[in-house]
Structure 1
């Protein structure tokens, strides 16, 4: 399993609207993507305009090719993109150690 970690900064004062948009976007668009395994969204306490989106994919290509090159990606960006203060930082990780 691959973890996609997106560090998202949104425009100030848009938290309530973005909370709804990110949930709707993941639930209605990303959750239907090939290789999607689950997700988590964390919202900053000290930095309330900062969000960490974690998406679990079966393979790296499920995100970088299957999703990113599909029309679903444009749909996702149309939902959440207007809130972005700048481009999200996105990185991918392999699981090294897991607690029981």
Structure 2
């Protein structure tokens, strides 16, 4: 299993709009083969920053299966205009 980690810096004042759009985006990503779960959390100290954690079966499920799909284009259109700057996405693997 792979965990995708992203800190999402939402433009201040657009948090409510972002959260509404994310409701639709959640349905998009959860339909992708290899998707396992998703958590979105809002920072208490920095309320315009969100933590996105997505669990995937394999790295390729995210980097190829999702990012190279038409579904990703929908995700991107819904969410990417909320970020400033664009988030860094990293992938983590559980240490045995």
Scaled by the length of structure 1, the TM-score of the pair is 0.91
CA distance in 2 between counterparts of 1:20 and 1:95 reads 31
- Mapped to 1, the partners of 2:7 and 2:64 lie a distance apart of 20
Q: Which residue of 2 aligns with 1:11?
A: 11
Q: Distance in 2 between matches of 1:23 and 1:39?
A: 12
Extract unaligned runs of 5+ from structure 1: none
SS in 2 for 1:32: coil
Shift of 1:23: 2.5
The corresponding residue for 1:55 is 54
Task: Provide the rounded CA distance (Å) in 2 between the counterparts of 1:37 and 1:96.
Answer: 18
CA RMSD across the alignment: 1.1
Summarize deviations over 1:22-56 as a string: whole Å, max 9, x none. Answer: 22201x21000110001101101111110111000
Alpha-carbon distance, 1:16 to partner: 0.9
Q: Secondary structure at the match of 2:8?
A: strand
Aligned equivalents of 2:69, 2:87: Cα separation in 1: 19
SS at match of 1:8: strand
Q: Structure 1 CA distance, aligned partners of 2:87 and 2:71? A: 18
1:21 CA drift (Å): 1.2
Structure 2: state its 5+ residue gaps.
none
